[in-house]
Amino acid sequence: MTREAPGAGRFAPSPSADLHIGNLRTAVLAWLFARSTGRRFLMRVEDLDDRTHDDVAQQQLADLAAIGITWDDEPQWQSRQRERYDAVITELAARGLSYECYCSRKDILGAPRAPHAPEGAYPGTCRDVTEAERAAKRETGRPPALRLRADTGQYTVTDLVHGDYTGVVDDFVLRRGDGVPAYNLAVVVDDALSGIDQVVRGDDLLASSPRQAYLAGLLGYPQPVYAHVPLVLNGEGKRLAKRDGAVTLAELGVSTAFGLITESLGWPASNMGELLARFDPADLPREPWIYQPV
């Protein structure tokens, strides 16, 4: 009898700054969701951006290990996988599912939009231009981004915290003007090729999930199940940041940080094993955790 391979969960930090207690809490939750369902757990360094740094990534991995998070396989580094993104971009182009976009951010903000067009959606300026118009845009010398030619305006994902969530799908960027594969493309390709079928992350990314799941569908990948967990906010209700005070593991120490995380979740435990035994997704706090650094 062959046993079906277990799926996998993951944590995918961007190495632009040290992880703070909010990031660590999200990582702990991703680990708990994966391990409590018999899944593997994978680590991915999302270092495609030029603001990311190797030494920061190494420190992030060390902090995650120090807090008790374990992972299977070697961490994957997006910057070492450029060919896989390029191959998918080539495939989408060959299927007529992408187009060049010459718009600047200002062009997009200033573009006329249909009365009910959703906030933040690309207005489609470059979607149906003629070849002559495209040639004129090329003349300007601005290197084009590549956008998806989406055939829907919305898509529904299954989220363990938010239920069925329907959100905007627009002609989002697949490859930036500087040639770097866009986050929304890379994340979909990496999750699928690594067998990740459970995506647990901060709820600031909930609105991106319909775009990502729609793209996964176009590429024939399975749909992951999502859990977008509440973020950690500072005393002013804003997203926690380094300038808020003692927020990193180096500043707090492992046992204080772990204690704060378990306390915020309402599951007292002194290590990850005990936390796993207490973990119940139905009891997950639904409100942001307000963290006031000491």
The binder of ligand GLU chosen from 161, 205, 218, 276 (CB under 6 A): 205
Min separation Cβ 265 and ligand GLU, Å: 19
The binder of ligand GLU chosen from 7, 8, 9, 13 (CB under 6 A): 13
Q: Which residues pair with 202 in a beta bridge?
A: 229
Q: Which is nearer to ligand GLU, 227 or 269 (CB)?
A: 227
Min separation Cβ 23 and ligand GLU, Å: 7
Q: Counting Cβ atoms within 10 Å, is residue 167 exposed (0-12), middle (13-18) or buried (19+)?
A: middle
Q: Is 225 in the site for ligand GLU (CB under 6 A)?
A: no
The binder of ligand GLU chosen from 9, 35, 46, 61 (CB under 6 A): 46
Count H helices and E strands in the chain, helices first.
10, 12
Residue with tokens 């995380």: 261
Region binding ligand GLU by CB under 6 A among candidate stretches 7-15, 78-86, 132-140, 263-271? 7-15
Q: How far apart are the first and last CA of the chain?
A: 56
- Residue 86 CA neighbour count, 13 Å, CB half: 7
Q: Which residues pair with 290 in a beta bridge?
A: 233
Q: Which is nearer to ligand GLU, 9 or 144 (CB)?
A: 9
Min separation Cβ 202 and ligand GLU, Å: 7
The binder of ligand GLU chosen from 187, 188, 215, 229 (CB under 6 A): 187
Do 159 and 286 meet the contact criterion of CB atoms below 8 Å apart? no
For residue 24, give the nearest of 232, 251, 198, 209 by alpha carbon: 232
Min separation Cβ 201 and ligand GLU, Å: 4
Containing H/E element for 175? strand 173-175
> What residue ranges bind ligand GLU (CB under 6 A)?
12-14, 46, 187, 201, 205
